[in-house]
A and B are shown apart, each in its own frame.
Chain A
Amino acid sequence: GAGVSQSPRYKVAKRGQDVALRCDPISGHVSLFWYQQALGQGPEFLTYFQNEAQLDKSGLPSDRFFAERPEGSVSTLKIQRTQQEDSAVYLCASSLDSVSDQPQHFGDGTRLSIL
């Protein structure tokens, strides 16, 4: 497809389990972002990649969160030893190049529920 694709759309996990969320950005997009969105709130920045380089991970809430983009296209956000407060929608966005004010194209997110 032409847009940003995220999988799975829904994920339910037990507290303490590890999860991996996938993002397929628009082909050729240089920049990739991960955001976390709690119910009724705006997205909160987690991390940013330019190609395969992770240039900003200041928003990752703890060292249980890890993101990678090894070949500069698909990205994975991994959460280890999940906690209930990790329940949220995780959004991925990509933009065409590294110019900072480019529009970001969002996927529809992965809704993560931790029981």
Chain B
Amino acid sequence: SQKIEQNSEALNIQEGKTATLTCNYTNYSPAYLQWYRQDPGRGPVFLLLIRENEKEKRKERLKVTFDTTLKQSLFHITASQPADSATYLCALGSGNTGKLIFGQGTTLQVKP
């Protein structure tokens, strides 16, 4: 069955460092991958989209890579800030409907 794994442990880093979150998947061939941020008690908020024919996408301090051979995406936040503390979700999609399959999320804590 399809399986998506994100960093199982919470990630704690110091302010100013780069945070790297991983998303691995098996038994799936996604056409695209999206990353979302979720704060406690709130709905997920879209951050970045990367398609299967793209290797890397950037947006301000965010960078996403997508390796369809390794079946892995990496999500980087450079110059991290305490305000970046949240849960980050990767989501895979394919087909025609926009249905997303989410990982379980990684909680990031950036300490000042």
Within 8 A of A (CB), among B18-75: 31-32, 34, 36, 41-46, 49, 51
Please, how many angstroms separate the alpha-carbon atoms of A50 and B73 in the complex?
A: 29
Least Cβ–Cβ distance between B47 and chain A, in angstroms? 9
Given the interface contacts A48-B98, A48-B99, A98-B98, does A108 sit within 8 Å of B42 by beta carbon? yes
Interface residues on B, range: 20 to 34
Task: Give the size category of A's interface with B.
Answer: 20 to 34
- Stretch with Cβ within 8 A of B (4 or more), from A38-46, A66-74, A80-88: A38-46
Task: Determine if A101 and B51 form an interchain contact, defined as CB atoms under 8 angstroms apart.
Answer: yes
Docked complex Cα distance between A35 and B45 (Å): 14
The interface residues of chain A lying within 8 Å CB-to-CB of B101 are 45
User: Which residues of chain A have C-beta atoms less than 8 A from B91's C-beta?
Assistant: 42
* B residues near A4, Cβ cutoff 8 Å: 43
Q: Which of B85-103 contact A (CB under 8 A)?
A: 89, 91, 93-103
Assuming the contacts A42-B89, A45-B99, A101-B32, asked whether A108 and B45 have C-beta atoms less than 8 A apart, the reply is no
Q: Mark A1-38, 1 if CB is under 8 A from B, else 0.
A: 00010000000000000000000000000010101000
Chain B residues within CB distance 8 Å of chain A: 4, 31-32, 34, 36, 41-46, 49, 51, 89, 91, 93-105
Nearest 3 pairs of A and B residues by beta carbon: A106-B43, A42-B102, A103-B46
Interface residues of A (CB under 8 A from B): 4, 31, 33, 35, 40-45, 48, 50, 55-56, 59, 91, 93, 95, 98-109
